[in-house]
Amino acid sequence: MTTEGGIRAPYREYCQWFDGEDAARIAQKAKQAEAFFRTIGITFNVYGAEGGDERLIPFDVVPRIIAAGEWRRLSRGIEQRVRALNAFLHDIYHRQEILRAGRVPTELIARNDAFLPMMMGMDPPGGVYTHISGIDIVRTGADEFYVLEDNARTPSGVSYMLENRETMLQMFPELFAKVAVREVGDYPINLLKSLSACAPPMCGGTPTVAVLTPGIHNSAYFEHSFLADQMGAALVEGHDLRVVEGRIAMRTTRGYRPIDVLYRRVDDDFLDPLNFRPDSLLGVPGIWDVYRAGGITIANAPGTGIADDKALYSYMPDIIEFYTGEKALLPNVPTWRCSEPEHLREVLDRLPELVVKEVHGSGGYGMLVGPAASKKEIAAFRAKLEANPRNYIAQPTLSLSTVPIFTNKGLAPRHVDLRPFVLMSPQGITITPGGLTRVAMSKGSLVVNSSQGGGTKDTWVLED
Confidence of residue 444 (pLDDT cuts 50, 70, 90): confident
Distances (CA, A) of 151 to 134, 217, 362: 5, 22, 9
pLDDT of residue 51: 45
pLDDT in tens, 61-104: 999 999 999 999 999 999 999 999 999 999 999 999 999 999 99
What is d(CA 338, CA 60) in angstroms, rounded to the nearest whole number? 37
Confidence of residue 141 (pLDDT cuts 50, 70, 90): confident
pLDDT of residue 296: 97
Q: With beta carbons less than 8 A apart as the criterion, state whether 167 and 458 touch.
A: yes
Residues 119-131 have a mean pLDDT of 97
pLDDT over 80 (residue 53): no
pLDDT over 90 (residue 274): yes
pLDDT over 70 (residue 362): no
pLDDT over 80 (residue 275): yes
pLDDT of residue 5: 54
Q: With beta carbons less than 8 A apart as the criterion, state whether 122 and 307 touch.
A: no
pLDDT over 80 (residue 257): yes
pLDDT over 50 (residue 118): yes
Q: With beta carbons less than 8 A apart as the criterion, state whether 313 and 395 touch.
A: no
Residues 321-339 have a mean pLDDT of 95
pLDDT of residue 192: 98
Residues 370-385 have a mean pLDDT of 90
- Identity (one letter) of the amino acid at 18? F
Cis peptide before 300 (omega within 30 of 0): yes
Q: With beta carbons less than 8 A apart as the criterion, state whether 81 and 152 touch.
A: no
Residues 293-317 have a mean pLDDT of 94
Residues 275-282 have a mean pLDDT of 94
- What is the set of domains in the chain, with CATH numbers? 334-397 (3.30.1490.270)
3-state SS track over the chain: CCCCCCCCHHHHHHHHHHHCCCHHHHHHHHHHHHHHHHHHCCEEECCCCCCCCEEECCEEEEEEEECHHHHHHHHHHHHHHHHHHHHHHHHHCCCCHHHHCCCCCHHHHHCCCCCCHHHCCCCCHHHCCCCEEEEEEEEEECCEEEEEEEECCCCCCHHHHHHHHHHHHHHCHHHHHHCCECCCCCHHHHHHHHHHCCCCCCCCCCCCEEEECCCCCCCCHHHHHHHHHHHCCEEECHHHEEEECCEEEEEECCEEEECCEEEECCCHHHCCCCCCCCCCCCCCCCHHHHHHCCCCEEECCCCHHHHHCHHHHCCHHHHHHHHHCCCCCCCECCCEECCCHHHHHHHHHCHHHEEEEECCCCCCCCCEEHHHCCHHHHHHHHHHHHHCHHHEEEEECCCCCEEEEEECCEEEEEEEEEECEEEEECCEEEECCCCEEEECCCCCCCCCCHHHCCEEEEEEEECC
β-bridge mates for residue 250, sequence order:
241, 257
Highest mean pLDDT among 137-146, 318-327, 432-441 belongs to 318-327
Question: First vs last Cα of the chain: how many Å apart?
Answer: 21
Count of C-beta atoms within a 10 Å radius of residue 343: 18
pLDDT in tens, 145-173: 999 999 998 899 999 999 999 999 999 99
Residues 261-270 have a mean pLDDT of 96
pLDDT in tens, 59-73: 999 999 999 999 999
pLDDT-wise least confident of 161-170, 361-370, 396-405:
361-370
pLDDT of residue 26: 93
Residues 407-423 have a mean pLDDT of 91
Torsion (CA) 220, 222, 225, 229 in degrees, nearest 10? -130
200/142: higher pLDDT: 200
pLDDT of residue 199: 97
pLDDT over 80 (residue 338): yes
Report field, pTM of the whole predicted structure over 0.95 = no
pLDDT over 80 (residue 108): yes
Average pLDDT, the chain: 91
Residues 324-330 have a mean pLDDT of 97
pLDDT of residue 8: 85
Count of C-beta atoms within a 10 Å radius of residue 306: 24
Confidence of residue 52 (pLDDT cuts 50, 70, 90): very low
pLDDT in tens, 225-234: 999 999 999 9
Residues 208-222 have a mean pLDDT of 93
Distances (CA, A) of 162 to 188, 295, 456: 9, 32, 11
β-bridge mates for residue 410, sequence order:
407
Count of C-beta atoms within a 10 Å radius of residue 260: 24
Count of C-beta atoms within a 10 Å radius of residue 327: 10
Per cent of the chain over pLDDT 70 is 93
Residues 338-361 have a mean pLDDT of 91
pLDDT of residue 3: 44
